[in-house]
């Protein structure tokens, strides 16, 4: 059952259009209701519990700032604001899908044990690993990070590259995986089966990548995100590690959900400009991206071992030591 999200705005056309756009998404966990004046909102609140309330930044009414709602957010006219008077804020004049993703990200602070099942996924921590530079050790780092975190948490690793070669890392050619998951969700909605889609390696759960590049390249990023969110909720994962690869459409829809973004950098100066341009782009997508981003210079690993044996060695190599140091007391 969806909870209510209330929108109060004197610009009734804006509020009405926003509510209709949000309500067209069947996977959005809230039903949006809009109001043009305070009295109409208060009347609604007397009869319906409201989980999230969106208020205009310029509002000076103290009564509305202390209503019995789980979370109050401001709609701000200034891009890049993350809070106004300690109240979280979202930029009003942005594409609805981005505003929706920002609302979803802000729900990570909700830890109420009584929250409905639809909200469980937002207590999952999302970690991104991405770099525009090649040969930085990104995939090895992400896998070792997941394996070490899996010692104490339930962790899922998702690789969204169209040509990942991920199966070679695990030493197996897996059927099913992301292609089947996306197809099943398209046909069956949230009732899609997860059986046969997941594998496990040293405690780390992973979903084999798309069988054909077209399966990911022609998928709507929002639907890929919804599939990952549903899998995370269904299996109660504590952490999801995302490697979007070079498909920056995927980065754009997942970035608002991330609690951390690791960006491995190349050791050659020629790649520095690529990285800096990427980081500037992430800040345009998400105003506080710099706060969650950490650049990494990963150790160089030289070995002739391939496949599963290489990954097992990597855990105890300089890479494993590096990740353990990065995680500190978490492992």
Provide the residue-wise pLDDT of the chain in tens; the chain has 331 residues. Answer: 688 999 998 888 888 888 888 888 877 888 999 998 888 888 888 888 888 899 887 776 666 766 778 888 888 877 666 666 667 888 887 777 778 877 877 764 443 333 333 333 346 889 999 998 877 889 999 999 999 999 999 999 999 988 887 877 887 766 668 888 888 877 776 666 676 788 888 999 999 888 888 888 888 888 888 888 888 888 889 899 999 888 888 998 898 888 899 999 986 666 788 899 999 999 888 878 888 999 999 998 776 565 667 888 889 999 999 999 999 855 5
Residues 6+ apart with CB under 8 A from 109: 71
Q: Of 111, 110, 90, 118, nearest to 28 (Cα)?
A: 118
Provide the CATH number for the domain formed by 124-326 in this structure.
Answer: 3.40.50.300
7: exposed, middle or buried (Cβ count in 10 Å: 0-12, 13-18, 19+): buried
| Distance between CA atoms of residues 157 and 151, nearest Å | 14
Residues forming CATH 3.40.50.10850 domain(s) in the chain: 3-116
| Distance between CA atoms of residues 145 and 127, nearest Å | 10
Residues forming CATH 3.40.50.300 domain(s) in the chain: 124-326
| Distance between CA atoms of residues 208 and 143, nearest Å | 13
What is the structure's pLDDT at 169? Answer: 82
Q: Of 281, 239, 242, nearest to 262 (Cα)?
A: 242
What is the structure's pLDDT at 174? Answer: 62
Fold topology of 3-116: Rossmann fold (3.40.50)
- In 3-state terms, what secondary structure has residue 91? strand
Other C-beta atoms within 10 Å of 45: how many? 18
pTM of the entire predicted model? 0.66
């Amino acid at each position: 059952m969806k909870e209510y999200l209330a929108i109060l705005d004197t610009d009734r056309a804006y509020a009405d259009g926003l509510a209709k756009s949000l309500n067209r998404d069947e996977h959005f966990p809230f039903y949006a209701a809009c109001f043009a004046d305070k009295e109409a909102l208060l009347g609604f609140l007397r009869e319906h519990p409201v989980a999230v309330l969106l208020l205009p930044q310029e509002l000076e009414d103290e009564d509305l700032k202390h209503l019995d709602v789980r979370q109050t957010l401001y709609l701000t006219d200034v891009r890049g604001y993350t809070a106004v008077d300690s109240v979280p804020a979202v930029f009003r004049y942005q594409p609805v899908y981005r505003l929706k993703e920002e609302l979803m990200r802000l729900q990570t602070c909700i830890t109420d044990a009584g929250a409905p099942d639809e909200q469980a996924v937002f207590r999952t921590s999302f970690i991104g690993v991405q770099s525009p530079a090649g040969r930085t050790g990104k995939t090895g780092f992400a896998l070792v990070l997941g394996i070490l975190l899996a010692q104490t948490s339930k962790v899922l690793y998702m690789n969204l590259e169209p040509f990942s070669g991920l199966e070679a890392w695990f030493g197996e050619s897996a059927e099913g995986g992301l292609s089947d998951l996306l197809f099943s969700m398209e046909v069956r909605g949230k009732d899609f089966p997860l059986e046969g889609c997941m594998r496990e390696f040293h405690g780390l759960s992973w979903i084999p990548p798309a069988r054909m590049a077209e399966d990911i390249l022609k998928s709507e990023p929002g639907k890929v995100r919804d599939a990952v969110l549903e899998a995370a909720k269904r299996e109660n994962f504590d952490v999801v590690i995302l490697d979007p690869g070079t498909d920056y459409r995927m980065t754009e829809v997942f970035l608002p959900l991330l609690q951390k973004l690791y960006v491995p950098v190349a050791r050659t100066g020629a790649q520095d400009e690529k990285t800096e341009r990427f980081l500037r782009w992430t800040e345009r997508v998400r105003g506080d991206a710099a706060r969650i981003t950490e650049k990494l210079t990963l150790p160089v690993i030289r070995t002739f071992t391939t496949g599963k044996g290489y990954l097992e060695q990597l855990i105890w190599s300089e890479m494993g030591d590096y990740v353990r140091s990065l995680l500190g007391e978490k492992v």
